[in-house]
Amino acid sequence: MVLRDKVVLVTGSSRGIGRAAGDAFATRGSIVVLNSRADVAAGEQAAHAIAERGGTADYLQADVSDQDDVNRLFDEIERRYGPVDILVNNAGRTESMPILESTAEHWRHMLNVNLMSTVLCSIRAARTMPAGGAIINTSSIRGFDANGREGVMAYSAAKAAVNNFTRTLAKELAPTIRVNAVAPGFVATSYMDRVEEPLRQSWLDNIPLREFITPEQIAEAYVYLAEAPYVTGTILTADAGFTLGHG
């Protein structure tokens, strides 16, 4: 797919991977719409920064785990720019909670934020997305068998569901729309600043390439999946080798 002038919505894009993905599409000449539920000022600043570099970007606030907000978001994008050509489902978050302390509310929240946001936006996008469009979901290495992490079980389960949803949706929307996902490993976002050094170092020691991935590097995976006309139903792992195992 030629990305110039394509309308690209990146959810959860006021910072981190989402913001980097928005920047990457903007440099290819796409019309980029950034989105977040909170941190509105950061989202607006990100869109302004793209515009200052000569790109086209807008910011729209919405809670994409809420059906009404999803409809409002897409209706406004279509009013301003036309239908979304490329949807990057990046909204999500993780919260640590031991399983015996977890509550139904915690599980519902994690599933809503990490899974239902992807489901709701994908359904709404597919209703009006032109032929040849692409949906790219954000999974995680925690969504793979044996890679879920204790303490973040609800997040891991939600990302496993995203993997299954991605592959099944790819079959249902083919041949009109391609559906793929990116499964990042350990990424050097602001989250890393909150991780205690011993744990951080243990992760690094178990990464064969011996480095954390930058958001900018991960962003190129989204661009690749948007451009590749022959790839659908793929979960692209970008983890510097972590899931290879450690011998």
Cα 57 → chain centroid: 18
pLDDT at 30 (0 to 100): 98
DSSP string, 2-61: --TT-EEEESS-SSHHHHHHHHHHHHTT-EEEEEESS-HHHHHHHHHHHHHTT-EEEEEE
Say how many CA atoms lie within 13 Å of 114 toward its Cβ: 26
Residue among 59, 81, 155, 222 flagged as catalytic: 155
Where do the domains of the chain lie, and which CATH numbers do they carry?
Answer: 7-241 (3.40.50.720)
What is the pTM for the complete model shown?
A: 0.94
Contact residues for 123 (Cβ-Cβ < 8 A; gap 6+): none
DSSP label of 207? -
pLDDT at 199 (0 to 100): 81
- Known catalytic residue at 59: no
Q: What is the spatial distance between Cα 101 and Cα 203, in angstroms, rounded to a whole number?
A: 25
Q: What is the spatial distance between Cα 188 and Cα 84, in angstroms, rounded to a whole number?
A: 29
- Closest by Cα among 52, 220, 43 to 33: 43
**Residue holding tokens 């907000």?**
69
Encoded tokens for 171: 């079959």
pLDDT at 247 (0 to 100): 45
Q: What is the spatial distance between Cα 127 and Cα 114, in angstroms, rounded to a whole number?
A: 21
pLDDT at 236 (0 to 100): 97
pLDDT at 164 (0 to 100): 98
Low-confidence ranges of the chain (pLDDT < 50): 247
Q: What does the radius of gyration of the chain's CA atoms come to, in whole angstroms?
A: 17
pLDDT at 237 (0 to 100): 96
